[in-house]
Structure 1
Amino acid sequence: MNTGIPVRWVLSQPELGLVLKGGADGLGRVINLVLTSELAEPQQWLSGGELVLTTGMGLPLSRADRLRYFEDLGSAGVAGVGFGVGLSHETVPADLVDAADRIGLPLFEVPLPTPFGAITKKVMQRLAEQEYEKVLRASRAQPRMTRAAIQGAGAVVKELSAALSATVAIIGVDHTVTEAHPQRPDAEISARIDEFLSTHGEGAGSGAIQVDTGQYIVVQTISAGHTVHGHLAVVSATALGPVDQVLLGHASSLLALDFEKPARLRIAQNHLNSQAISMLLQQPGDPESMWQHLAPAADRTGRVRALVLRCSGPDAVPETLESVDARLRPLNQQLFAHTRGDRVAVLLPGSDTEDTAEQLLAGIPPQIRAAMRAGLSSPHPLRRFPAAVEHAELAASAAMPGARPLELAALAGHALLAFPEAQRVLSAVSEAMLQPLVDYDDRHGTDLIVSLRAYLEAHGQWETAATALGVHRHTLRSRVARIESILGCSLDQALVRAELLLAVVARG
């Protein structure tokens, strides 16, 4: 469920020294954000759930306007109001206390020694802890749901219900409830679900409904490929958060497996693999079960390579995935892929070669393949697959459309100049550093730039550089001395030589 902290928890922190003045009936209101405002009309900037901290500097002078100010905060759905005393007000105004009691909006006194920042930090730390606890619970719930899938759909529903502390039901394609836990949805909830499905059609995907009782209904399609087997409905007291959505998606995938075995088993398995990759890309440290799920992607030494395909647009992604999967099936390999916009990242065993990667792309329709840029990483330990994906993306950005997958290692020696962004930066640096030398050559008909490059590429070896230029080493020494004078630097310093070599190469 959504993360939030009841106002009573903030008041219970002794080190803050907060004192409730009014609105005790609203101590259960949930805080999801802390902000400070001295505006006379802050309600237009609020969306609900905020803990508003103020010193009352912008508080209206008249009693009527102050009451309206506080009532507007209540109407905006704020969770509570902290009033700092000792600055513009020695005490919390009594009329605000009365208003707080009347509308049930908690109002507490913040003593002068307690900075607003301490309250904000305390609340944000607790919110972060709640998010971590949710991820931890999800990491434990997913394996339980996976094991429950062996027993059938009812067991999966029971585990999801326990993980979300909500009512969970499976709605068949005929809109009847086939499984539910801990009980079947009541008539009003069932009617709202039926209305949603009738309005949006069987392939509705997912959607959220809020009913008059304050409950939330989330409906998730159970499907494999283009076949819809029903819907999973979750009825909860609060809206589902991102981690809850992951659990819902996991349960939906497991149910899809149960409904369509084994014809669509691979499609659902691919979906689970994608979810595992997505979760680990977002939170690479959690959870252990996800790392175990990705283990089949690695070779015998536990290494993987990433193949990133940059398509001409998002519309080309589905056909690309289907083509790659079709090539992997005869090899008895799962598809471990992650999509983002027009990009597809596929995990391959670390022992796979550039030729193997190219063979996977052989079945892609020619019009899609012709515009596709492909990049391949070097082998990485499984736990470092996010780095492999990043390296493959860099290689793909430098690859030619329709060409073989480009390995990042193949760019050694000219990697910086292979990327347009780096080219622009180096070109600008080159122009700034070398312009005095270019101007000198133009005025005097010399070619000191050429002499500088020869000297730098020879690592400062006079004889080697002079031979490359076809001049005597003393002549080269004279030119280098002139270059140092014009540029105002010393080529005896390795860092200076390195920067100048990059500038000269970029200019060339």
Structure 2
Amino acid sequence: MNAGIPVRWVLSQPELGLVLRGGASGLGRVITLVLTSELTEPQQWLSGGELVLTTGMGLPLSRADRSRYLEDLGAAGVAGVGFGIGLSHETVPADLVEAADRLGLPLFEVPLPTPFAAITKKVMQRLAEQEYEKVLRASRAQPRMTRAAVQGVRAVIKELSVALSATVLVVGGDSVVTEAHPRSPAAEILDRIGEFIAAHGESAGSGVIQVSSGQYIVLQAISAGQTVHGHLAIVTATALGPVDQVLLGHASSLLALDFEKPARLRMAQNHLNSQAIAMLLQQPGDPDSMWQHLTAAADRTGRIRALVLWCPGPEAAAVALDAIDARLRLLNRQLFAHVMGDHAAVLLRGSDTDELAEQLLADLPGDVRATVRAGLSSPHPLRRFSAAVDNAELAASAAAPGARPLELAALAGHALLAFPEAQRVLSAVSEAMLQPLIDYDDRHGTDLIGSLRAYLEAHGQWETAATALGVHRHTLRSRVARIESILGCKLDQALVRAELLLAVVSRR
């Protein structure tokens, strides 16, 4: 706390010979500075906490003005008034004594043999001793807090509370008090802390609040880099001094380190998991220790699923993994992921649903999520996780940007046409195989292509195909014979029918 000496301490120094004449109720007022003034209106030069020494040479003549003189000093916040006798006044004027009692402003008599300089020296020495004592206490408190950090947050704030003789709180980002020593303060204190954080945001740095009770609340952000873990709040009767601020900063740093430990440990664990995946993707035959490391990624049956994200760039992939990691941390689960350029692969449990995979992407920034293609594999044994990654990679290539993760199984019936590479091959095959039939239809105004499709989709069943076309089966038989003649093939062969069906579907 700020250094200061109560007026009663000055009066208790026998060598000064000071005698209290009035204002006994204010003996607890704190002196922070001693000055001598013979001005009639010295209050305009004062800021509070001063012990004013005067011989009364500039004292007003009337009782009313002398009373106003003390009132103005009291309003300026002075700690007390020392009145030197034996020069301009033989005794302290009685009206001043009455005014001092009424104001609760200590007024004491300074005998002629006691120089004002002796009082000033005595007070300044005591103030210097206080500062030294505070530095000494701080030098002892800092190592105690450092040792207490091993035991955690509660031990650190206990040491800080003892060192500052104050109530110490740890306030989370949601303005909830998570730790308090020696006890949680009044509701008004908690309300003011919540208002400060709400007004300045969770990342607010430091601030000082004075409440109606006269107490001070000093807030200091507990931060490491750009991450704010909460606030340290000190509730005191007086404002903190420079040495107290050093202790507060030291405690804040210790708490930040304590809060950072889980985050640092998780970062290291994520890096190790990524390295294990990378090694096994490159050399699947690596020692069992690597496979053993990945068992935490699998479900109870030893199965995993792969979630692959196609991102617009490596930076977006890193942002996406950070968002997924935050979600998994809430589920008390590790992140098993590997980044390959602008692609990111995440291993999930085999029992995880596609709904969970979608939830993991929910916190991606909107501009990133809108560009990400996500593919999800089916469950695979852990030892075949590379196949699961390939499966999810293929699904991601067919997924729409910003859509929910696509499972390859969901493409049944049109999987080949979902992939650009397959589309290019099938289009080329379609053009090569069907062009004679297309030319024939163009020249004769027929629709042999439509008849061929109906026949193939009916699996060669004449009645079914003819009904779909709305013609007699003999008409369809005649058309199929003409198609076989034009294409130079026989449609009673399964492989021929399969290739032609792909060609017809691809053309459409």
State the TM-score, normalized to the length of structure 1. Answer: 0.52
User: 3-state SS of the aligned residue for 1:205?
Assistant: coil
Match of 1:252 in 2: 252
Match of 1:238 in 2: 238
Structure 2 unaligned runs (5+)?
Answer: 266-508
Superposition deviation, residue 262 in structure 1:
7.0
- The 3 A distance-change label for structure 1 pair 264 and 114 is farther
State the TM-score, normalized to the length of structure 2. Answer: 0.52
User: 3-state SS of the aligned residue for 1:260?
Assistant: helix
The one-character-per-residue Cα deviations of 1:378-402 (angstroms, maximum 9, x if unpaired) are xxxxxxxxxxxxxxxxxxxxxxxxx
Superposition deviation, residue 185 in structure 1:
1.9
Match of 2:414 in 1: none
Residues 398-437 of structure 1: pairs in structure 2 closer than 5 A = none
User: 3-state SS of the aligned residue for 2:261?
Assistant: coil
Q: Aligned equivalents of 2:237 and 2:128: distance in 1?
A: 21
- The 3 A distance-change label for structure 1 pair 14 and 224 is same
- Give 1:104's aligned amino acid: G
User: 3-state SS of the aligned residue for 1:67?
Assistant: helix
Q: Aligned equivalents of 1:189 and 1:246: distance in 2?
A: 23
Judge conservation of contact 1:23–1:102 (CA < 8 Å) in 2.
yes
- Give 2:206's aligned amino acid: S
- The 3 A distance-change label for structure 1 pair 58 and 42 is same
Work out whether 1:98 is the aligned partner of 2:98: yes
Q: Aligned equivalents of 2:25 and 2:161: distance in 1?
A: 30
Q: Aligned equivalents of 1:85 and 1:199: distance in 2?
A: 55
Q: Aligned equivalents of 1:236 and 1:58: distance in 2?
A: 39
Match of 1:158 in 2: 158
- The 3 A distance-change label for structure 1 pair 262 and 45 is same
- Give 2:226's aligned amino acid: H
Moved over 2 A (4+): 262-265
Judge conservation of contact 1:100–1:106 (CA < 8 Å) in 2.
yes
Match of 2:187 in 1: 187
Superposition deviation, residue 203 in structure 1:
2.1
Q: Aligned equivalents of 2:262 and 2:143: distance in 1?
A: 21
Superposition deviation, residue 261 in structure 1:
1.7
Residues 372-391 of structure 1: pairs in structure 2 closer than 5 A = none
Residues 305-384 of structure 1: pairs in structure 2 closer than 5 A = none
Match of 1:7 in 2: 7
The one-character-per-residue Cα deviations of 1:83-106 (angstroms, maximum 9, x if unpaired) are 000111111000000001111000
Matched length: 265
The one-character-per-residue Cα deviations of 1:121-170 (angstroms, maximum 9, x if unpaired) are 00000000000000000000000100100011011011101110000000
Q: Aligned equivalents of 1:247 and 1:264: distance in 2?
A: 25
Match of 1:147 in 2: 147
User: 3-state SS of the aligned residue for 2:61?
Assistant: coil
Residues 45-60 of structure 1: pairs in structure 2 closer than 5 A = 45-60=45-60
Match of 2:208 in 1: 208
Superposition deviation, residue 204 in structure 1:
1.7
Q: Aligned equivalents of 1:40 and 1:86: distance in 2?
A: 19
Judge conservation of contact 1:225–1:264 (CA < 8 Å) in 2.
no
Judge conservation of contact 1:32–1:50 (CA < 8 Å) in 2.
yes
Structure 1 unaligned runs (5+)?
Answer: 266-508
Match of 1:173 in 2: 173
Q: Aligned equivalents of 1:160 and 1:66: distance in 2?
A: 47
Q: Aligned equivalents of 1:201 and 1:240: distance in 2?
A: 23
- Give 1:101's aligned amino acid: D
- Give 1:241's aligned amino acid: G
- Structure index of larger Rg: 2
Q: Aligned equivalents of 1:26 and 1:132: distance in 2?
A: 27
Match of 1:226 in 2: 226
User: 3-state SS of the aligned residue for 1:105?
Assistant: coil
Q: Aligned equivalents of 2:246 and 2:264: distance in 1?
A: 21
User: 3-state SS of the aligned residue for 2:39?
Assistant: coil
User: 3-state SS of the aligned residue for 2:135?
Assistant: helix
Q: Aligned equivalents of 1:9 and 1:200: distance in 2?
A: 42
Residues 34-53 of structure 1: pairs in structure 2 closer than 5 A = 34-53=34-53
Work out whether 1:75 is the aligned partner of 2:84: no
User: 3-state SS of the aligned residue for 2:159?
Assistant: helix
The one-character-per-residue Cα deviations of 1:283-311 (angstroms, maximum 9, x if unpaired) are xxxxxxxxxxxxxxxxxxxxxxxxxxxxx
Q: Aligned equivalents of 1:215 and 1:264: distance in 2?
A: 38
Judge conservation of contact 1:173–1:229 (CA < 8 Å) in 2.
yes
Residues 102-141 of structure 1: pairs in structure 2 closer than 5 A = 102-141=102-141
Q: Aligned equivalents of 1:162 and 1:179: distance in 2?
A: 15
Q: Aligned equivalents of 2:165 and 2:240: distance in 1?
A: 11
The one-character-per-residue Cα deviations of 1:314-342 (angstroms, maximum 9, x if unpaired) are xxxxxxxxxxxxxxxxxxxxxxxxxxxxx
The one-character-per-residue Cα deviations of 1:463-493 (angstroms, maximum 9, x if unpaired) are xxxxxxxxxxxxxxxxxxxxxxxxxxxxxxx
Q: Aligned equivalents of 1:250 and 1:262: distance in 2?
A: 20
- Give 1:214's aligned amino acid: G
- What is the root-mean-square deviation in Å for CA atoms of aligned residues? 1.1
Judge conservation of contact 1:2–1:240 (CA < 8 Å) in 2.
yes
Superposition deviation, residue 200 in structure 1:
1.4
